[in-house]
Structure 1
Amino acid sequence: MSLINVTNLTFAYEGSYDTVFENISFQIDTDWKLGFTGRNGRGKTTFLNLLLGKYKYVGNISANVTFEYFPYEVKEQENFTIDVIKEISPNSMDWEIMKELSLLDVEEDILYRQFYTLSKGEQTKALLVAMFLKENSFLLIDEPTNHLDAESRKKLSNYLKRKNGFILISHDRSFLDNCIDHILSINKTNIEIQKGDFSSWWENKKRQDSFELAENEKLKKDINRLSKSAKRSSNWSNEVEKSKKGTTNSGSKLDKGYVGHKAAKMMKRSKSIENRQQGAIDEKSKLLKNIESSDRLKISQLVYHKNKLVELENVSIFYGDTIVCEDVGFSIEQGDRISLKGKNGSGKSSIIKLICGENIKYTGTFRKGSELKISYVSQDTSHLKGNLTDYALENNIDESLFKLILRKLDFSRIQFEKDMSSFSGGQKKKVLIAKSLCEKVHLHIWDEPLNFIDVISRMQIEQLLLEYSPTLLFVEHDSEFCKNVATKFFEL
C-alpha cells in the first residue's frame, strides 16, 4: 500500500482566466478501486492528464507508482494482439495473459489475430488485461464502457471487481456499484472522497442537499426576523436619543443621564441583533454551493391521429446477401418508451435506419404512419460546429427552451458563446438530446444517446422523460436508465 498525495493543486488551461482546480488537496490509497464522478466539463479527464504529467500545474502531486492511461493508443494496429499486449507489459507470461482473458470470457485465439480485426469490446478487454499485468502500475481508466453492449459491460465490471489500484471514470451506475469501493467526486465548488459505491454516495449527497435546503429556509426566516428586530431597535434608540433635547409632558426637564443610558442600551441591543443577523447570513452563504440545478421545463410532443405509429412483422434486414437480423416483430404505440436491446452487431441500428426512412433492403411487413414526424439522435456528434444560437435557428427550434434544457444539464452561460466543435463528447451529446426534446414530432428515436454523458445528467434526462412521457424508441446499454425509463423491452 502507498499513497498518492495531491497538495494545493491549482490548474487553468493556457489563455483561460477560469481555473479548473483551485488549491485542492486530498489523498488516494493505491489499493482502492476508486470511482470518479462529476458533471461533463468539470475536469475528470483533465485531472487524469495532470497525474500523467501532461500539463504544468501549481501545487504538488506525489506518488510511488507509474500511471497508465486507458484507452491506450495502439499505433501498430496490424500487429498480432499478443505482440500488442507484450509491448505494454513486456514481463507478462503467456499463461498469465490467457488466465486474465479467461476471466473476461475472451477466447485465446484473439491473441493470434491482428489487433484491428478485433471488435471494440475485444480490444478494450485485451488492453485492460495488458495494463493490469504491468508491474507497479496504477490504472487511470477513462470511460471503458462506451460502445460495449450490456453483456460485455457486466463481464468487464466483474473483472474490475477482482482488481484494485485504479481510478475509473464511468457514467454507468450499475457498472460502478459492482466494482468500486470509494468515490472521488468533482462537485461545483470542491472535490471530496467517500468510502462506498456510487449509490451510497448519491444517497449521502441527496441527504446533504435536503439538509442544506432546510437550513437555507430556516436561515432566510431568521435573517428576515432579525432584520425587522434590528430596524425596530434602531428606530427606538433614535427616538430616545432625540428626546434628550426635549422635556417631559409635565414640563419638567428630563434626566439626560438616564435617557443616554437607555439609548446606549438600545444601541447595544441593535448591534447584537445585527451581529446575529450577519452570522446567519455567513452561515447561509456556506450552503447550496454543490446543489445541482433542477429548473422545471415545459416540453410538449405532437399527438398522432392513430394509436399505432410503427409496425414490423417478420422483418429480416440484409446488407448484400448477409442477413443482419431476421423475423423481427414489434410495434410502437403512442406513449411507448421501447428499449431496443441486443448484442453489438445484432441489427439494432439497422432497425432504426429502416424506421427513419433510409433505403434498407428487407423482407417481411413494415408499416409506418403517413406524415409521421420523427426526431433522430445518432451516435455521431462530429458534425456539430458553430454556436448554439445559430444551431437553434438552423433547426427551427425554440432557442429559449433549447438553452433552458442545456442549463438544466449543467451548461454554463459562458458555454453558449463557444463553438460546439470545442465541446466535450458528453456536451455534444447533450446538444443533440436538447434539440430532439425541442422538436415538434410524434416519435423520438435515440441511438445510444448517453455515451459520454455524466451520471447526474442521465438521471435528469430520466426525470424529463418520465415527466413528459414522449413516445420513444431507444438503444442504450445503461441498464439503470433502461429499467427506469422503458415501458417495453424488445430484444434482438
Structure 2
Amino acid sequence: MSLINITNLAFAYEGCYDTIFENVSFQIDTDWKLGFTGRNGRGKTTFLNLLLGKYEYKGNISASITFEYFPYEVREQGFFTIDIIREISPNSMDWEIMKELSLLEVDDDVLYRQFYTLSKGEQTKVLLAAMFLKENSFLLIDEPTNHLDAEARKKLSNYLGKKKGFILVSHDRSFLDNCVDHILAINKTNIEIQKGNFSSWWRNKELQDSFEIAENEKLKRDISRLSGSSKRTSEWSDRVESSKHGATNSGSKLDKGYVGHKAAKMMKRAKNIESRQQNMIEKKSKLLKNIESNERLEILPLTFHDNKIVELTDVSIYYDDKIVCEDVNFTMERGERIAIQGKNGSGKSSILKLIYGHDIPHNGIVRKNSQLIISYVSQDTSDLYGSLSEYADKQCIDESVFKSILRKLDFSREQFEKNIENFSGGQKKKVLIAKSLCEQAHLYIWDEPLNFIDVISRMQIEKLLLEYQPTILFVEHDCAFCENVATKTIEL
C-alpha cells in the first residue's frame, strides 16, 4: 500500500478561459478501487492525463507507483495477440497470461490470432489483462465498456471486482456498483472521495442536496423576516431620536437622556439584527454550490393512427453472403419501449437501420406505414462538425429549443461558442439526443444513445421516457437504464 498525493492542483488549457481545476487537494490509497464520476466536460480524462504527466500544471502530484492508461494504443494491429501482451508486460509468464484470460473467460486461441481479428470486446479484455500483469502499476481505466455488450460488461465488472489499484471512469451504474469500493467525484466546485460504490455515493448526495435545499429555503425566510424587523427597528430608532430634538425645540420637559438611551438601544438592536442577517447570508452562500442541474426534459411525440407501428416477419440480414441474424420476428405497438439486446455482432444496429430505412441487404418482410415519422439517433458521431447554430439549421430544428435542451444537459454557455468537432464524446452524443428530442415523431430509434454520456444525464433521459412514454426502439448496454425504461426486450 502507498499513497497518491494531490496538493493544490490547478490547471487550465492554454488559451482557454475555463479553469478545469483550482487548488484541488486529496489523497488516494493505491489499494483502492475507485469509480470516477462527474458530468461530461468536467475534466475526468484531463485529470487522468495530468497523472500521466501529459500537461503542465500548478501544484504537486506525488506517487511511488507508475500510472498506466487504458485504452492502450496498439500500433501494430497485425501482430499476434501474445506478442502485444508481452510488449505491454514483458516479465509475465505464460501461465500468468493464461490465468488472467481465463478470469475474463477469453479463449486461449486468441493468443495466436492477429490482434485486429479480435472483436472490440476481446481486445478490451486482452489489453486489461496485460496491463494488470504489470508490477507496481496503478491503472487509469477510461470508459472500457463503450464497445461491450451487456454480458461482456458483467464479466469485465466481475474481473475488476477481484482486482485493486485502479481509477475507473464509467457511467454505467450497475457496472460501477459491482467492482468499486470508493467513488471519486468531480462536482461543480470541488473533487470529493467517498467510501462505497456509486449507489451509496448517490444516496448520500441526494441527502446532502435535500438538506441544503431545505436549509436554503429556511435561511431565505429568516433573512426576509430579519430584513423586515431590522427596517422597522431602524425606523423606530429614527422616530425616537427625532422626538428628542422635537422636545428641545418645543421647550418640553421630556427626559432627553432617557429618550437618547432608548434610541441607542433600538439602534443597537437594529445592528444586531443586521449582523445576524449578514451571518445567514454568508451561510446561505455556501449552500447549493454542488447541486447538479437536473432539469426536466421534454419531448413531443406524435400519436400514430394505427396501434401497430412496425412488424418484422422472418427477417434475415446478411453482408457479403455472411448471415448476421436470421428469422427475426416481432411486432411493435404504439407506446411500447423496446430494447433490442444481444452480443456484439448479432445484428442489433442492422435491425434498427433497416427499420429506419437504410439500404440493408435482407430477406423477409418489414412492414411499416409510409406515413410513419421516425427520429433516429446513430451510434456514430464522426460526421458532426461546425457550430451548434449551423447544425440546428442543417437539421431543420428550432435552435432555441435545441440549445435549451443542451443547457439542461449541463452545457455551459461557453460551450455554445465552440465547434462540435471539439466537443467530448459525451457532449457529441448529447447533441444527437437533443436533436432527436426537438423532432416530433411517431417512433424514436436510438442506437446506443448513452455511450460516453454521464450518469446524471442518463437519469434525466430515463425520467423523460418514463414521463412522456414515447414509442421507442433502442439498443443500449446500460443494464439499469434498460431495466428502468424498457417495456419489452427482444433478444437476438
TM-score of the superposed pair, with normalisation by structure 1: 0.98
Q: Which residue of 1 aligns with 2:170?
A: 170
1:420 counterpart = 2:420: yes
Q: Which residue of 2 aligns with 1:161?
A: 161
What is the CA deviation profile of residues 241-263 of structure 1, one whole-angstrom value per residue up to 9, with x for unaligned ones?
Answer: 11111139997332211111111
What is the CA deviation profile of residues 84-115 of structure 1, one whole-angstrom value per residue up to 9, with x for unaligned ones?
Answer: 11111110000100010001110111111111
Q: Per the alignment, in what secondary structure is the counterpart of residue 78 of structure 1?
A: coil
1:55-454 superposed matches below 5 A: 55-247=55-247, 252-454=252-454
In terms of mean alpha carbon deviation, does 208-217 or 320-329 score higher?
Answer: 320-329
* Aligned-partner Cα distance in 2 for 1:370–1:469: 23
What is the CA deviation profile of residues 57-85 of structure 1, one whole-angstrom value per residue up to 9, with x for unaligned ones?
Answer: 00000000000000000111111111111
1:13 counterpart = 2:13: yes
User: What fraction of aligned residue pairs are identical, expressed as a percent?
Assistant: 77
Amino acid in structure 1 at the alignment position of 2:223:
I
* Aligned-partner Cα distance in 2 for 1:61–1:469: 48
- Change in Cα spacing, 1:97 to 1:298, as seen in structure 2 (3 Å) is closer
What is the CA deviation profile of residues 116-143 of structure 1, one whole-angstrom value per residue up to 9, with x for unaligned ones?
Answer: 1111111111111110000100000000
* Aligned-partner Cα distance in 1 for 2:34–2:436: 35
- Change in Cα spacing, 1:223 to 1:376, as seen in structure 2 (3 Å) is same
8 A Cα contact 2:183 2:196, kept in partner:
yes
Q: Which residue of 1 aligns with 2:29?
A: 29
Q: Per the alignment, in what secondary structure is the counterpart of residue 122 of structure 1?
A: helix
* Aligned-partner Cα distance in 2 for 1:368–1:423: 36
* Aligned-partner Cα distance in 2 for 1:381–1:297: 22
Q: Per the alignment, in what secondary structure is the counterpart of residue 245 of structure 1?
A: helix
1:466 counterpart = 2:466: yes
* Aligned-partner Cα distance in 2 for 1:449–1:296: 18
Q: Per the alignment, in what secondary structure is the counterpart of residue 362 of structure 2?
A: strand
Following superposition, the deviation at residue 37 of structure 1 comes to 0.3
Q: Which runs of 5+ in 2 are unaligned?
A: none
- Change in Cα spacing, 1:490 to 1:79, as seen in structure 2 (3 Å) is same
8 A Cα contact 2:294 2:456, kept in partner:
no
- Change in Cα spacing, 1:197 to 1:297, as seen in structure 2 (3 Å) is closer
Following superposition, the deviation at residue 320 of structure 1 comes to 3.2
Amino acid in structure 2 at the alignment position of 1:204:
N
* Aligned-partner Cα distance in 2 for 1:195–1:459: 22
Following superposition, the deviation at residue 361 of structure 1 comes to 2.4
Q: Per the alignment, in what secondary structure is the counterpart of residue 59 of structure 2?
A: strand
8 A Cα contact 1:297 1:404, kept in partner:
no
What is the CA deviation profile of residues 6-42 of structure 1, one whole-angstrom value per residue up to 9, with x for unaligned ones?
Answer: 0010111111222100001000000000110000000
* Aligned-partner Cα distance in 1 for 2:341–2:4: 41
* Aligned-partner Cα distance in 1 for 2:164–2:472: 39
8 A Cα contact 2:297 2:461, kept in partner:
no
What is the CA deviation profile of residues 383-407 of structure 1, one whole-angstrom value per residue up to 9, with x for unaligned ones?
Answer: 1111112221221212222112111
Q: Which residue of 2 aligns with 1:481?
A: 481
Following superposition, the deviation at residue 47 of structure 1 comes to 0.4
- Change in Cα spacing, 1:297 to 1:91, as seen in structure 2 (3 Å) is closer
8 A Cα contact 1:36 1:185, kept in partner:
yes
* Aligned-partner Cα distance in 2 for 1:41–1:250: 73
1:456 counterpart = 2:453: no
In terms of mean alpha carbon deviation, does 92-101 or 402-411 score higher?
Answer: 402-411
Alignment coverage as a number of residue pairs: 492
Q: Per the alignment, in what secondary structure is the counterpart of residue 126 of structure 1?
A: helix
* Aligned-partner Cα distance in 1 for 2:452–2:293: 20
* Aligned-partner Cα distance in 2 for 1:319–1:87: 35
8 A Cα contact 1:8 1:25, kept in partner:
yes
Amino acid in structure 2 at the alignment position of 1:135:
E
Q: Per the alignment, in what secondary structure is the counterpart of residue 68 of structure 1?
A: strand
Following superposition, the deviation at residue 305 of structure 1 comes to 1.3
Following superposition, the deviation at residue 300 of structure 1 comes to 1.0
What is the CA deviation profile of residues 363-402 of structure 1, one whole-angstrom value per residue up to 9, with x for unaligned ones?
Answer: 2222011211111100111111111122212212122221
* Aligned-partner Cα distance in 2 for 1:48–1:344: 29
In terms of mean alpha carbon deviation, does 295-304 or 253-262 score higher?
Answer: 295-304
* Aligned-partner Cα distance in 2 for 1:249–1:20: 67
8 A Cα contact 1:246 1:253, kept in partner:
no
8 A Cα contact 1:246 1:254, kept in partner:
no
TM-score of the superposed pair, with normalisation by structure 2: 0.98
Q: Which runs of 5+ in 1 are unaligned?
A: none
Following superposition, the deviation at residue 417 of structure 1 comes to 1.4
What is the CA deviation profile of residues 154-204 of structure 1, one whole-angstrom value per residue up to 9, with x for unaligned ones?
Answer: 110011011000000011101100000000000000100000000000000
8 A Cα contact 1:374 1:445, kept in partner:
yes
* Aligned-partner Cα distance in 1 for 2:230–2:369: 69
Amino acid in structure 1 at the alignment position of 2:152:
S
* Aligned-partner Cα distance in 1 for 2:5–2:297: 43
8 A Cα contact 2:294 2:408, kept in partner:
yes
Following superposition, the deviation at residue 307 of structure 1 comes to 1.1
8 A Cα contact 2:309 2:369, kept in partner:
yes
Following superposition, the deviation at residue 295 of structure 1 comes to 2.8
